[in-house]
Every structure is written in structure tokens, then in C-alpha cells.
Amino acid sequence: MRPVSFLLLAVFLFLQTSCRPEEEPVSLELPPTPVLTSESQWGVVNKPYLKVLETRDPASGVSGLLRRGDIVEIVSKVGAEDGRSYWLEVRSSDSDTAGWIPDDSMDVYDSPAQARTARAGIEMKD
């Protein structure tokens, strides 16, 4: 076999193996996973009135009521079914209220001191 023929054969075989269509990527849908942190977070309610639910279902029973400026400890955070928002499991030491609320009804802070400072700002606006 002449060198030119060998080279053409090699190029032809290379193109045959490298030009194959790629397989379509597999799509995986993972269930919501709780977001765990090593430290507690604190929240300040930003709605005039907020129902605290018994479960992460909007149709579930109400376990309590919070008002704008109330401070709660965030116990856990779980992704909602829409994939863009979260459910927050909260506990209030002031009113013994515990349950679940949507994340857009609360401003989240890293410490109780930051939450108290934020609440003072809300009280000054009202």
C-alpha cells in the first residue's frame, strides 16, 4: 500500500468514528432535598399577617398566626415543588407557634441580633 493511500484510509476511518451523532443527555429530576446548615438562621415576618401551616401543603391546617415584625427561628428549609422557592420550618419562642411558611413571607438573617435590628427598622416604618 502506498503512503498516500494509507494516509487517506486513516483519515477516512478517523472521520467515520469521530463524526457520529452524540447520544442525547439523560435528564434527571431529583426530589427536593432539605438544605442543612451548621448554624440556625432567624427570620422576620414581612407580611401583615401570616398563617403558619402544619405541613408544607397550602391546604393543610393552620398551627398559628404570626404578624409583621415577629422573629422566628428557622429550623429547616425544603425546596418547594416549583423548584424556585422554599418552605421554611419555623419556631417562635414568643408565641409557641411552630410549623411551615413560604420563604417569600420572611426576611432571613444569620443571627438573632440581626433579626432584632431588622424588626426595629420595620417598627419605625409603621
Contacts of 36 (CB under 8 A, 6+ apart): 76
Q: Which residues pair with 99 in a beta bridge?
A: 90
User: What's the Cα-to-Cα distance from 41 to each of 48, 111, 114, rounded to whole Å?
Assistant: 21, 6, 10
pLDDT in tens, 9-20: 777 777 666 555
Q: Which residue has the higher pLDDT, 7 or 126?
A: 7
- Residue 123: pLDDT over 80: no
pLDDT in tens, 30-78: 665 555 454 679 999 999 999 999 999 889 999 999 999 999 999 988 8
Mention the CATH class of domain 41-125: mainly beta
Proportion of the chain above pLDDT 70, given as a percent: 75
pLDDT in tens, 75-114: 988 887 777 788 999 998 777 889 999 989 999 999 999 9
User: Is-above-0.85 flag for pTM?
Assistant: no
- Residue 2: pLDDT over 80: no
Strands (E), the chain: 41-45, 49-53, 62-67, 71-79, 86-92, 97-102, 106-109
pLDDT of residue 24: 74
